[in-house]
Structure 1
Amino acid sequence: MTFSLDVRSHSEIGLVRRNNQDSGYVSPRMLVVADGMGGAAAGDLASTVAVRHVALADERFAGEDSPSRPQGEEMLTILAGAVADANDELADLVAWDSSLEGMGTTFCGAMFSGTQLGVVHIGDSRGYLLRQGRMKRMTHDHSWVQSLIDEGRITPEEAAVHPHRSLLLKVLNGQPQHVPDTQIVDLRLGDRILFCSDGLCGLVDDETIAEHLNTATLDDVVDLLTTDAHAGGGTDNITIVVAEVVEADPALDASQPHIIGAATTRKVPEHEVTAPLSVDHPSATRKDAGESTVLFDSEAEESMRYAPVDSQNRRRRHWLWPVVILALAAIVTGGIFGTRAYLNTQYYVGTDGNAVAIYQGSPDSLAWIHLSHVVETTDIKTTDLPHYYRDRVSENIRVSSMESAHATVAELRTGAQQCKAVRNKAATPTAALITPSMTPQPSASGSGAPHPSAVPTPAIPSPTSAMPSPSASGHEVDLPAVSSGDC
């Protein structure tokens, strides 16, 4: 049994930006969102190039005499091929006009076979699938903060407000090493599909998106999502493509392709390396000429892209190498500054020789590069600590701030002083005459519940016995109370 797609789409500038650099494309077979970036370096051009190549790939399957819809892996071959062609053209454009260096675009979309989606994704635009009221992401962000979430360094909630949440690791920008993710998704009747730019998913949380996707009509879904993106600040362009899997409908299957966003007005300039040639291309002429929604210049035969290039153009292509090197240097420099900014917010308590110390950065290392340094050394000796405390410090205690580090050090100091008191008392001749106290010790977690030590603790009068445990204030590091057996 095959299905059809009932589709709605929307793209706008938002409340802050001066122009729309997002583009989108929808047809009975294709759903695509591309979020251009680069500002003055033509992010709108990059997203337009991506949508242009999708439209060309989709055009082969439109009309009564067209081939049957691709199935399974063939969908991925066609859509990923269109993405690769778009990436090649971005490289050509930068080589032709160096002022375009820095432009790029995300790509998030799918080809529809009638029963499956062939999803292709690169960047941080997202694809969602809602089934029987439950939503899941079909894509995984190629962003710096997502890599931190994957490594367990930050939470999704922290990622939403991270200062470098816009830093992307993979986009379409003419670089051959940026390969998109692909997957096949089986569909069921009633499923809803959402592709969007981060003007929506960067401002509206997944729980709210899922709630709106459950709304009765697709028009209401688009309206509610757009309204919430505005309520979140509307700080970026907003592009939404939403579709519902319905029973096969010839009218829906015959609907015309539709382009939204920057690609409706942005023209791709004819550039020297892959300039369109004057050839007859009957399939480029639409039956409803004058009502075409594809606003691109005519295209050369696909084979002409691989025709020999004259020597003058070949010499021009050599200028691409300095551009590539500069782009890679910019990416590396941005990564270094981004990493440094992140490490400046990280702290942990560890050892410096035989002393407890506070470090800024990460205890991990990158090859021979240390990612942390001592910011404060204490007078606490690791040999004075209880065994458990000593093990924790030797493994490094991660904390969220300098204040938390000081609280942890205070807790370690209390444990060291208690152990020193126990050892000093045990060394005196009267130690054996002390009656063990079975008085429950306070819990280090600060819950207030009695927590008797597994080993009787000598009732030792000492200055430390009156010191409150820092963990009792709700401190994030939970170190247990100290008993004589711990020392």
Structure 2
Amino acid sequence: MLVVADGMGGAAAGDLASTVAVRQVARADSHRTGEEMLEVLAGAVSAANDELADLVTWDHSLEGMGTTFCGVMFDGAQLGLVHIGDSRGYMYRDHALERMTHDHSWVQSLVDEGRITESEAAVHPHRSLLLKVLNGQPQHTPDTRLVDVHEGDRLLFCSDGLCGFVPDHVISEILGQESLDDAMALLITEAHAAGGSDNITIVLADVVAQDDALDAVEPKIIGAAAFTAVPEHEVTAPIPVVPDAGPGEARGSARRAGETPLLFDSEAEESMRYAPIDPEHGHRGRAWLLSILGVLVVAAVAFFGVHTYLGDQYYVGDDNGTVAIYQGIPDRLVWVQLSKVTETTDISTSDLPIYYRTKVESTISVDSVDSARATVAELRSGAQRCKALKASPKPSASASPKPSSSASSSSPTTSATSSPTAGSPSASGSSLPKVSEDDCS
């Protein structure tokens, strides 16, 4: 297993987020083959995401933390690659570099749509914005793929402290070095020389013939995950329900046998429902009536609970081409819309900067109606800025690209060099970046 997890949200515990990811996947390290590798590794990443959600619920000051993840399991012939964020995996084979991953970043989406070039992406003012990371949100699912490898292949996994500053053609030239240690030293030197202000984390590995000595090497964890303590916290795991299977031993033996609890047996239910009622045991009818009343009470409590919850939720979104404040959540339950417009504005979404417009169309979650109004004020300022720029157009910026990738195993070399963590705004929240000429079109 080879893994890079680049934490983000410095003040909000990016080091904790990356530690959770690394430790979850380390527990899953085992011998698997083919699709099994993807199932195990993706499952471990999902477990890490769930733990991050639990930590944020337990301590709200951790809201905003997240981590990228780029890692593989190796079965001797293939890599099982799992990736989310803008850390990358590369394969160097026959003097050619292949990017195995695809960045989940704002600028990469602009490149994919043909709106900017790879070179423009490298200097785009919002190049650090990520669209998908591990941050406890269930909709952020990673990419997975199987990659064939051969003896002689060289693998590189890195944070954007390297690939965000050093272009692919330079990385390719350096990976041609015979020694892994020499290649590692040159990659770090190039990242610093390019002005790297972010953490530089690199894993290098050569695919070699099977070797018992290599197989016996202890796994190595470096960086924050090697020393960061994950605080004790409540886990929102489902609580198993054991049916009332009878007194004494029968119930205990069912538990020990590890049988899955039976929550609803339709055949037994129907038999009881249509059984004739013994006049001497009329309490059966009363029991059924009490059961039905209990269900109705639970349904009523649930309804009012949901209604109260939705009343405290707000977001900013699009309302037929204008910006509006909504109360509720932007979802639908069967045929019921779970939100309503509570305040309208005269801000046209077409006047917004590109990034602001995309955020509004995908909805901006806020903590309160006051936060929503503050966000609307930022959007209004952005729209006015764009109108002014359109009235007096200026030349746009130019730039460079961001890669993606996959990995493999055997004789790995690792390095993590830290520098001050640059702020990486997430793709959600109410704090919006400043508007530049590139944003208005």
1:85 CA drift (Å)? 0.2
The 1:133–1:403 alpha-carbon spacing in structure 2 relative to 1, beyond 3 Å, is closer
TM-score normalized with structure 2 length? 0.57
Aligned partners of 1:104 and 1:172 also within 8 Å: yes
Aligned partners of 1:105 and 1:171 also within 8 Å: yes
Match of 1:248 among 210, 214, 227: 210
Equivalence for 2:185 = 223
* Structure 1 residues 333-368: Cα deviation after superposition (integer angstroms, max 9, x where no partner): xxx99x716699xxxxxxxxxxxxxxxxxxxxxxxx
Task: Give the residue type in structure 2 aligned to 1:164.
Answer: H
1:259 and 2:218 correspond: no
Task: Give the residue type in structure 2 aligned to 1:41.
Answer: A
Match of 2:138 among 165, 176, 193: 176
Distance 1:119 1:263 in 2: 20
1:32 and 2:3 correspond: yes
The 1:249–1:119 alpha-carbon spacing in structure 2 relative to 1, beyond 3 Å, is same
The 1:211–1:271 alpha-carbon spacing in structure 2 relative to 1, beyond 3 Å, is same
Equivalence for 1:480 = none
Aligned partners of 1:199 and 1:239 also within 8 Å: yes
* Structure 1 residues 388-443: Cα deviation after superposition (integer angstroms, max 9, x where no partner): xxxxxxxxxxxxx6469xxxxxxxxxxxxxxxxxxxxxxxxxxxxxxxxxxxxxxx
1:93 and 2:58 correspond: no
Distance 1:92 1:204 in 2: 36
Match of 1:110 among 72, 82, 100: 72
The 1:111–1:241 alpha-carbon spacing in structure 2 relative to 1, beyond 3 Å, is same
Distance 1:208 1:403 in 2: 29
Percent of paired sites with the same residue? 66
Distance 1:327 1:374 in 2: 27
Q: What are the within-5 Å matches in structure 2 for residues 302-451 of structure 1?
A: 340=353, 402=394
1:131 and 2:93 correspond: yes
Equivalence for 1:50 = 21
1:232 CA drift (Å)? 1.2
Distance 2:115 2:149 in 1: 34
The 1:199–1:327 alpha-carbon spacing in structure 2 relative to 1, beyond 3 Å, is farther
Higher relative contact order (CA closer than 8 Å, sequence separation 6+): 2
Distance 2:12 2:209 in 1: 44
* Structure 1 residues 430-457: Cα deviation after superposition (integer angstroms, max 9, x where no partner): xxxxxxxxxxxxxxxxxxxxxxxxxxxx
Distance 2:395 2:149 in 1: 51
* SS of aligned partner of 1:102: coil
* SS of aligned partner of 2:231: coil
* SS of aligned partner of 1:259: coil
* SS of aligned partner of 1:158: helix
The 1:224–1:328 alpha-carbon spacing in structure 2 relative to 1, beyond 3 Å, is farther
Distance 1:208 1:247 in 2: 28
Distance 1:222 1:235 in 2: 18
The 1:79–1:190 alpha-carbon spacing in structure 2 relative to 1, beyond 3 Å, is same
* SS of aligned partner of 1:188: coil
Distance 2:107 2:390 in 1: 29
Gaps of 5+ in 2: 238-257, 259-305, 318-329, 331-348, 358-382, 397-441
Distance 2:395 2:175 in 1: 42
The 1:403–1:195 alpha-carbon spacing in structure 2 relative to 1, beyond 3 Å, is closer
Equivalence for 2:150 = 188
Aligned partners of 1:37 and 1:103 also within 8 Å: yes
Cα-Cα RMSD: 3.6
Equivalence for 2:431 = none
Gaps of 5+ in 1: 1-29, 62-68, 276-302, 304-317, 345-368, 378-400, 405-487
* Structure 1 residues 90-115: Cα deviation after superposition (integer angstroms, max 9, x where no partner): 00000000000000000001000111
Task: Give the residue type in structure 2 aligned to 1:53.
Answer: Q
Aligned partners of 1:199 and 1:234 also within 8 Å: yes
Distance 1:92 1:83 in 2: 14
* SS of aligned partner of 1:210: helix
* SS of aligned partner of 1:247: coil
1:264 CA drift (Å)? 1.1
1:89 CA drift (Å)? 0.1
The 1:154–1:93 alpha-carbon spacing in structure 2 relative to 1, beyond 3 Å, is same
* Structure 1 residues 446-486: Cα deviation after superposition (integer angstroms, max 9, x where no partner): xxxxxxxxxxxxxxxxxxxxxxxxxxxxxxxxxxxxxxxxx
Distance 2:72 2:85 in 1: 15
* Structure 1 residues 50-83: Cα deviation after superposition (integer angstroms, max 9, x where no partner): 000011111xx3xxxxxxx211100000000000
Equivalence for 1:77 = 39
The 1:74–1:134 alpha-carbon spacing in structure 2 relative to 1, beyond 3 Å, is same
* SS of aligned partner of 1:189: coil
Distance 2:316 2:213 in 1: 48
Aligned pair count?
274
Equivalence for 2:234 = 272
Equivalence for 2:199 = 237
1:248 CA drift (Å)? 1.0
Match of 2:128 among 145, 163, 166: 166
The 1:269–1:208 alpha-carbon spacing in structure 2 relative to 1, beyond 3 Å, is same
The 1:142–1:403 alpha-carbon spacing in structure 2 relative to 1, beyond 3 Å, is closer
* Structure 1 residues 162-214: Cα deviation after superposition (integer angstroms, max 9, x where no partner): 00000000000000000000000000110011000000000101011111111
The 1:374–1:94 alpha-carbon spacing in structure 2 relative to 1, beyond 3 Å, is closer
Q: What are the within-5 Å matches in structure 2 for residues 63-74 of structure 1?
A: 69-74=31-36
The 1:53–1:402 alpha-carbon spacing in structure 2 relative to 1, beyond 3 Å, is same
* SS of aligned partner of 2:150: coil
